Structure 1
Amino acid sequence: MNTLTILEKLVSFSTVSRDPNRPLIDFVRAFLAGHGIESELVEAEGRRKANLFATIGPRDRPGIMLSGHTDVVPVEGQPWSSDPFQLRVADDRAFGRGTADMKGFVASALALAARAASRNLETPLHLALSHDEEIGCVGVRSLIDRLATRGFAARLAVIGEPTGMRIATGHKGKLAARATCCGVSGHSALAPKALNAIHLACDFVGALRRRQDELAESGARDDDYDIPYTTIHAGVITGGTALNIVPSLCSVDFEIRNIAADDPAAILDGLMDDAAALAAAQRAAHPEAAIRIERLNDYPGLATPAESEAVRFVAALLDDGATHKVAFGTEGGLFSSRLGVPALVCGPGSMDQGHKPDEFITLDQLAACDRFMERLLDRIAA
């Protein structure tokens, strides 16, 4: 199979994060086995989802890892002009959910694996496929844990998120949290006698905005990013049951996306102080007042030096070896921080097309990725 044929098959699996990815993983495992490549699964609870890991070539030395996630975002509510889970090729573009983010890279990596199986490799080639990346880089952690128990080492990891086949050496970290605001319920006709949890939540959102203003005005900066400072963002507010009831509970889901110079835990500590002060100001009249903050998820940022050996190695295999940083997060920071594997982000397509209706990747970008893969194979072959 060539890359486009493999991509057609991968797109046909509806691997939205809430759904199983096993049919796709089982296809990949059979595809690899058909070329004499053994693979192992790291299954999630219930066996509905799994990560896959395979090594081609010698196992007694560090190799090159190609890493991709298999899940995609939902399509509901998006005005697609064709079936999002059936690849459509038109006007030198391949349309379908996940074509850019990031099944195009996975398809090219699988085509490479098939060719590599018939070559005598001096440097091993590793293939790592994960689940549940789109909901916070969740699934890959069990694979990393498995590799860590073996003392796994690699020369570098290429995270194939869409970068237009340019090297991204960094991205921000992310910390997601929830503030649960506790007030006192009552009849809306007597609202001043109660404590409105939505109002308390709005006060907390005000604290988020003040902290954001401080970061934007006087915080650390990294001008390689479109937004060169750490950001704080409230994304979901939930509270209230009826207009004539003063709500006693309201939650605010928020995130911190930090540049490498900032510590998200320290920023969260500051927000906890703000929350405590807001609640304390209400307790004289309402002892029940509280704002409880819990961490929901986090993943580290990526900061691979542009002058590193890993970057030089990959740059030599590309048509354009320039480096930059990306706004979106990846699994690269986890491979780097937990396994000590130098990671960079480089894959076909553009995130401008990701997560949108009529998502697509250009055939030129797939061809550029295939050229990179072929040069990589020539480099690691004996």
Structure 2
Amino acid sequence: MTTPLSEIELLDRLVGFDTVSSRSNLELIDFVRSYLDGLGVASTLLPDATGQKANLLATIGPADVPGYVLSGHTDVVPVEGQQWSRDPFRMWENDGRLYGRGTTDMKGFVACMLARVPAMLAAPLATPIHLALSYDEEVGCLGAYGLVDHMTKSLPEQLAVFVGEPTDMGVIGSHKGSTGLLTTIAGKACHSSRPDLGVNAIFHAVDLIGALRGYAEELAAAPEAQSPFELPYTSVSVGVIQGGTARNAIPGDVRFQWDIRATKAGMVEKLVERFRAFCDDTVLPVMKAGFPDSTITTEYAYDVPPLVPSEGSLAETLAKRFAKTNQVGAVNYGSEAGIFQRAGMPTIICGPGRDSEAHITDEWIAVEQLHRCTAFIDDLIGHARKT
């Protein structure tokens, strides 16, 4: 029999698992499974293709009727390049703040939902509450797709999903999409003393990146009327360039990663189609004139859908009630919420901590935020007990 732990004790345990997205999350998942099993709650493990990562789904209450979902991701961003004052994977407390990687984004929320499992069991619940934990949210919400697919196939249609990204316990009803793309340019390498014998992939990458910068400036110059976002337009950026081998060598291959944060559905497809047309009609013919086997390819690394406003949905209505607010906001970042919503589940974002406290050196969350989050979950438990 598991001894129930508080949200602070659970957060301490969760932070202790190094679940940077490049690493396995299985030790954390095994801990959660063991903790739930000790409370008498069965869970389902949903591993990825490598077997090194897994989603987890647990249900408290009757699983054969529509219910509510508390959703959190288990991975965290890297700590390399940051000068932490202490070990980032050993939580410490100071002046009402809890420090450690993932305290805010978003192990704090996961700790709160696990801490309230005994209360869910004691209720008892007439409407189920599902605990959904995913992997690889930070690198494109990769795990959520399999998790949501499993839920839609194995469970009744859900009444509401609460995604616990850090919002200062405010209610967020919309966010932009997040799309990552990879463009690869293959020209012909040669000695820099005879550039006429090759095709300089970097030069042509500059042309392509210039086109993307043009799209970004064009979109920023035409903000969308009545947009809920702080940046009221779709943004385009380039984040990584890789290519070349030496100063005195014409580079034959270049790769660059770029990003689209779309305000609405359809924007990504339009921009990618426009970019590919520029590649095929303007840049590639010039490359092929120098080397017929030149190529330009663009692939999707991930494509996270936007969270679309859904005024009056049950998710929004309940979140406003439990968070004790009448305000519903919007954010520029993406999350797994759009994936749940696209699968037909009313979805809202509300969680402890602030995004300004996430991903930073000495990441932290206020203890007061955890208390507010457990109060929110307790209100959900009370609602699920009655309905």
- TM-score using structure 1 length: 0.96
Q: Which residue of 1 aligns with 2:206?
A: 202
Unaligned regions of 5+ residues in structure 2, if any? Answer: none
Equivalent positions of 1:323-342 (< 5 A) are 323-338=328-343, 340-342=344-346
Q: Which residue of 2 aligns with 1:182?
A: 186
Question: More deviation in 318-327 or 356-365?
Answer: 318-327
Spell out, residue by residue over 1:90-141, the C-alpha distance to the aligned partner (whole angstroms, 9 max, x if none): 0110000000000000000011112111112121111100111111000122
Residue number in structure 1 paired with 2:20: 16
Letter in 1 for 2:353: G
2:244 is aligned to 240
Find the counterpart in structure 2 of residue 111 from structure 1: 115
On the 8 A contact 2:56/2:133 being kept in 1, the answer is yes
The alpha carbon displacement at 1:219 in A equals 6.2
Check conservation: 2:180, 2:259, Cα contact below 8 A.
yes
Deviation at 1:193, TM superposition (A): 4.5
Alignment of 1:242-261 (within 5 A): 242-260=246-264
Equivalent-residue separation in structure 2 for 1:206 and 1:68 (angstroms): 38
Question: Number of matched residues?
Answer: 381
Give the conservation status (yes or no) of the 8 Å contact 1:181–1:290: yes
Distance 1:35 1:321, change over 3 A: farther
Alpha-carbon displacement from aligned partner over 1:228-261 (angstroms, at most 9, x marks no partner): 1111111111110011111111111111110115
Correspondence for 1:102: 106
**Aligned partner (choices 271, 280, 302) of residue 285 of structure 2:** 280
Q: Does 1:316 align with 2:308?
A: no
In structure 2, distance between residues paired with 1:284 and 1:224: 47
- Following the alignment from structure 2 to structure 1, what is the Cα–Cα distance between the partners of residues 287 and 81? 41
Contact 2:104 / 2:166 at 8 angstroms: preserved in 1?
yes
Q: 1:262 deviation in Å?
A: 4.3
| Contact 1:7 1:104 (C-alpha < 8 Å) held by counterparts | yes
Amino acid at match of 2:346: P
Partner of 1:91: 95
- 2:11 — aligned with what? 7
Match of 1:143 in 2: 147
**CA separation of 1:57 and 1:266: change in aligned 2, threshold 3 A:** same
Gaps of at least 5 residues in structure 1 are: none
SS of corresponding position for 1:139:
helix
- Aligned counterpart, 1:163: 167
Do the aligned residues in 2 keep the contact of 1:3 with 1:111 (CA within 8 Å)?
yes
Would the alpha carbon gap of residues 87 and 249 (structure 1) be closer, same or farther in structure 2, given more than 3 Å must change? same
Deviation at 1:59, TM superposition (A): 2.1
| Maintained 8 Å contact 1:220/1:262 | no
Report the Cα offset of residue 189 of structure 1. Answer: 1.7
Following the alignment from structure 1 to structure 2, what is the Cα–Cα distance between the partners of residues 156 and 279?
48
TM-score (structure 2 length as normaliser): 0.94
CA distance in 2, matches of 1:124, 1:40: 15
Q: Deviations over 1:181-210 (max 9, x none)?
A: 122222212224532110100000011011
Q: 1:262 to 1:215 in 2, by over 3 A?
A: farther
Q: For the residues of structure 1 that align with 2:49 and 2:296, how far apart are their CA atoms?
A: 33
Between the aligned partners of 1:307 and 1:178, the Cα distance in structure 2 is 38
1:159 Cα shift? Answer: 0.4
3-state SS, counterpart of residue 47 of structure 1? coil
Q: Contact conserved, 1:133 with 1:140, CA < 8 A, in 2? A: yes
User: Do the aligned partners of 2:208 and 2:279 also contact (CA within 8 Å) in 1?
Assistant: yes
User: How far apart in 2 are the matches of 1:140 and 1:6?
Assistant: 23
| Letter matched to residue 333 of structure 1 | G
RMSD: 1.6
CA shift, 1:310, in A, is 1.9
Residue in structure 2 matched with residue 56 of structure 1 by the alignment = 60
Report the CA distance shift for 1:281/1:221 in structure 2 as closer, same or farther (over 3 A): farther
- In the alignment, the residues of structure 1 paired with residue 32 and residue 295 of structure 2 have an alpha-carbon distance, to the nearest angstrom, of 50
Per-residue deviation at 1:152? 3.4
Counterpart amino acid of 1:126? Answer: H
Match of 2:228 among 202, 224, 227: 224
The answer (yes or no) to whether the contact 2:178–2:333 under 8 Å persists in 1 is no
Deviation at 1:83, TM superposition (A): 1.0
1:58 deviates by 1.6
Q: Secondary structure at the match of 2:323?
A: coil
| 18-27 or 94-103, which deviates more | 18-27
In structure 1, the residue matched to 2:219 is 215
